[in-house]
């Protein structure tokens, strides 16, 4: 159970980091192109 919990914590942390990175990319893409933002958001 301990090993499974560790794996779950890693997945949760990665899931939280993923939206943050996507938001940063969307903000940078907004300044460059609006079409790229639609692709990243979708």
Position 9 scores a pLDDT of 60
* Residue-range domain boundaries for the chain: 2-41
Position 15 scores a pLDDT of 56
Position 28 scores a pLDDT of 55
pLDDT in tens, 1-39: 455 565 566 555 555 555 555 565 555 555 555 454 445
Position 42 scores a pLDDT of 44
Identify which of 16, 17, 38 has the alpha carbon closest to the alpha carbon of residue 26. 38
SS3 per-residue string spanning 5-21: HHHHHHHHHHHHHHHHH
Position 17 scores a pLDDT of 56
| Cα torsion angle, 17, 23, 35, 30, sign | negative
Position 11 scores a pLDDT of 58
SS3 27: helix
């Amino acid at each position: 159970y301990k090993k499974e919990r560790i794996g779950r914590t890693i997945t949760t942390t990665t899931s939280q980091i993923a939206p943050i990175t996507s938001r940063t990319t969307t903000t940078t893409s907004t300044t460059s192109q609006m079409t790229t933002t639609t692709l990243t958001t979708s």
